[in-house]
Amino acid sequence: MKPIACIALLLLATSVSAAPVCPPLLNFSLADIDGETRNLCTYAGKVVLVVNTASQCGYTGQYKGLQALSDKYGPQGLVVLGLPANDFGSQEPGSNAAIKNFCEAGYQVDFALFAKTGVTAANANPLHEALARATGERPRWNFHKYLIDRSGTRALSFASQVDPQSREMVQAIESLLKTKPVTSTHTQAEK
């Protein structure tokens, strides 16, 4: 093989092996509210707030607070992910299109919404299963919140009644946002 071709192959192999590793709590793909598959690895290096939502719940007004958090802290690295679930009291009976319309028209939600999914132990999506293992807590009702740190390896759990703009939630978000994003160039095989 010619030396130039060998160097090109070596450079290509090096660039492929230096690809960032997806953090374990984000190493999932889920369908968004429009049915498109989204790889959560794209949120690596961000502080991620995961909330199981419902349109007909006493906590549904929390959409306003979640949007306010997204507006205020999004430029600093916060990402809010809404995952509608019908697991508690059948309070999310609508289709994905109806949920999207409800959120956008009623609460001007523009943070990421995902397709209706399960969050309880019996039918949890892979993200919620990983978050339950990481925190030792499963959602007991709608609007349970998980806050994932920038490394994507640790999470905090907040019960449904914790308002998104409560002092407790805001302090946790601000604290995690102060941590610098970690960029890894090691592959799984190198670790």
Our answer to whether residue 57 is catalytic in this structure is yes
> Residue 164 in contact with residue 173, Cβ under 8 Å?
no
Single-letter amino acid code for the residue at 46: K
Q: Give the Cα separation of 18 and 187 in Å (integer).
A: 7
Q: Give the Cα separation of 169 and 132 in Å (integer).
A: 18
From the candidates 6, 22, 41, 57, give the one annotated as an active-site residue.
57
Q: Report the Cα 66 to chain-centroid distance in Å.
A: 13
Q: Which long-range contacts (CB under 8 A, 24 or more apart) does 130-136 make?
A: 130/24, 130/25, 130/28, 131/25, 131/50, 131/155, 131/157, 134/25
- The catalytic site residues sit at 57
